[in-house]
Amino acid sequence: DQQVKQNSPSLSVQEGRISILNCDYTNSMFDYFLWYKKYPAEGPTFLISISSIKDKNEDGRFTVFLNKSAKHLSLHIVPSQPGDSAVYFCAASGEGETSGSRLTFGEGTQLTVNP
Amino acid sequence: NAGVTQTPKFRVLKTGQSMTLLCAQDMNHEYMYWYRQDPGMGLRLIHYSVGEGTTAKGEVPDGYNVSRLKKQNFLLGLESAAPSQTSVYFCASSRTRRSQYFGPGTRLTVL
């Protein structure tokens, strides 16, 4: 079963507008969430994270929102730039893990920002 | 400071052949991971290690073995490759769960 789900395989936005990427999770033990960005032929790179004790975390143009009751998080990119075009992965980890820093990833969303 | 490196970058195998993928990190991280990425399925954890000399199974361990003889290296082995193991393999390392650092990937094709 997919514990972390990104229901939109792709998203296309105009340069300068807002991009909103969504992620849902089912495991209530998850308490830390991350977003990774991946360009073709490269490994994923860490973008931004949020702990379950917060409902918002901001870093420059990137903001992550967490709604624990809905088990939903979203990544907002404002303003979007063509260089933001990449695959974005949502990931989650749980305090209850005895195995160290295991992450569970979503399927990814391909963001395309058009000039 | 190279971060996480993976060897080789590309490989083509025939069904039944064996190979080893090498991952190396120079950040003194305790935790290391092997993932595979397939279209529409995100990144799935194959095996991981929480320290030198330790390994554990992840989400999709069948058909793979791993070893962590040195803290900086994590090896992924395929004993008898199958077409279903055609994928892009990523290694990662971390000190805490705040973020994992990924290598550039190995693209493996099994014919």
* Rounded Cα–Cα distance for residues B21 and A74 (Å): 35
- Using a CB–CB cutoff of 8 Å, tell me whether B90 touches chain A: yes
Residue type for position A89:
F
Which residue among A9, A46, A105 places its CB closest to the CB of B43? A105
- Using a CB–CB cutoff of 8 Å, tell me whether B65 touches chain A: no
* Rounded Cα–Cα distance for residues A24 and A2 (Å): 10
The pLDDT tens digits of the residues spanning B82-105 come to 999 999 999 999 987 668 999 999
CA distance B23 to chain A (A): 13
* Rounded Cα–Cα distance for residues A54 and A33 (Å): 11
State residue B95's pLDDT score.
Answer: 87
CA distance A71 to chain B (A): 19
In contact, B49 and B95? CB cutoff 8 Å? no
Residue A95, pLDDT > 70, answer no
* Rounded Cα–Cα distance for residues A12 and A110 (Å): 8
CB contact under 8 A, B31 and A100: yes
CB contact under 8 A, B4 and A41: no
Residues 6 or more apart whose CB falls under 8 angstroms from that of A34 comprise: A46, A47, A48, A49, A50, A90, A91, A92, A93, A103, B98, B99
- Using a CB–CB cutoff of 8 Å, tell me whether B42 touches chain A: yes
State residue B40's pLDDT score.
Answer: 83
Q: Model confidence at A56, in pLDDT bands (50, 70, 90)?
A: very high
DSSP code per residue over A43-99: --EEEEEEETT-SEEEETTEEEEEETTTTEEEEEESS--GGG-EEEEEEEEETT-SS
The pLDDT tens digits of the residues spanning B21-63 come to 999 999 999 999 999 999 888 899 999 998 999 999 999 999 9
* Rounded Cα–Cα distance for residues B57 and A44 (Å): 22
What value does the mean pLDDT take over residues B59-79? 96
- Using a CB–CB cutoff of 8 Å, tell me whether B52 touches chain A: no
Torsion sign, CA atoms B97, B100, B88, B81: negative
